[in-house]
Amino acid sequence: MGIITLLTDFGADSGYPAAMKGVIYAIAPTATLIDISHGIKHHDVREGAFLLWMNIPFFPKGTVHCAVVDPSVGTARQPLIVHAGGQLLVGPDNGLLIPAARRLGSTEVFTITNEKFYRKPVSHTFHGRDIFAPIAAHLANSFPPKELGQPVEKFVKLSFGEGSQQGMTLKGEIIFVDTFGNLVTSISAQLLNAFAQLGDPLALEVGSKSAIVRFLETYEQADENELCITIGSHEQAEIAVNLGSAAQRLRAHPGDALTLRKNR
């Protein structure tokens, strides 16, 4: 009945997500599967965490998110179940699940200790198929997390940071570059709205590049190929080029620091 989402760095066409889906449907034949993304850069836990964080508010209670970006597959890192805001997340203990879970409010974290539902033998290289997929399917079948694991206090944390204002300057970081080349920043809508007014020109620095950008409501208010800053769909300040790519223009990448100054 429930929805199960999948997020991996396997590649949609790699055949690996399909193996997970076969395992899931064999256990939960009436589940609805939704791919969040299989195109996370290999081993890029932060990018995976961002896409999960970005999507989780749009899913109904009862959804189970199965996320596998797992550079340490086969080692001692623990498999986790996280319960938050009526949704469940399953994946490795490397921070991947944490920003999404925190976005929904208080969280309960379990390490999976009951191996009853694992596909045996568990391969050393594909826990997505052998551990996370069957656990997600049983959770979607309403099997209680408490019977699968132990509550745990220690787990790997991850956060995208927050922008901050220092006088006439906003400081933040690029946390995601989307497929259009828009740069999602760690500066919240609230912070940018308190700092500047629509129409204001701001002096932007990202890496070694600098530019004057106008704070606009939509991309399209910018001239063609003009850089601008806007409140994006993630409710974060977003740097964009109308009908172009801000990432290309600024040669900017996730993790790059940025500053915005009022242009007096």
Interface ranges with a copy of itself (CB under 8 A)? 3, 5, 10-16, 18-19, 21-23, 25-26, 29, 32-40, 42-43, 51, 54-55, 58-60, 63, 71-75, 123-126, 129-130, 178-180, 217-221, 230-233, 235, 238, 240, 243
**Closest approach of Cβ 159 to a copy of itself, in Å?**
19
Amino acid letter, 234: H
Residue 37 or residue 185: which is nearer to a copy of itself going by CB?
Answer: 37
Query: In the complex with a copy of itself, which residue's Cβ is closer, 64 or 110?
Result: 64
Cβ nearer to a copy of itself, comparing 43 with 253:
43
26 backbone dihedrals φ, ψ, rounded to 5°: -65, -30
State the nearest-atom distance from the C-beta of 123 to a copy of itself, in Å. 4
164, 258 Cβ separation under 8 angstroms: no
Instruction: Give ∠ CA 174-177-180 in degrees, rounded to 5.
Output: 140
Least Cβ distance, residue 153 to a copy of itself (angstroms)? 25
User: Would you say 101 or 110 has its CB closer to a copy of itself?
Assistant: 101
Nearest approach, Cβ of residue 23 and a copy of itself (Å)? 5
Q: Does the bond joining 134 to the residue before it have cis omega, within 30 degrees of 0?
A: no
Measured from the CB atom, the residue of 39 and 161 that comes closer to a copy of itself is 39
Least gap, CB of 21 to a copy of itself (angstroms)? 5
From the CB of 55, what's the least distance to a copy of itself, in Å? 5
Closer of 63 and 186 to a copy of itself (Cβ): 63
Distant-in-sequence, close-in-space partners of 167: CB < 8 Å, separation ≥ 6:
none
Least Å distance, CB 3 to a copy of itself, is 6
- Tell me whether residue 85 or residue 110 sits nearer to a copy of itself (CB atom): 85
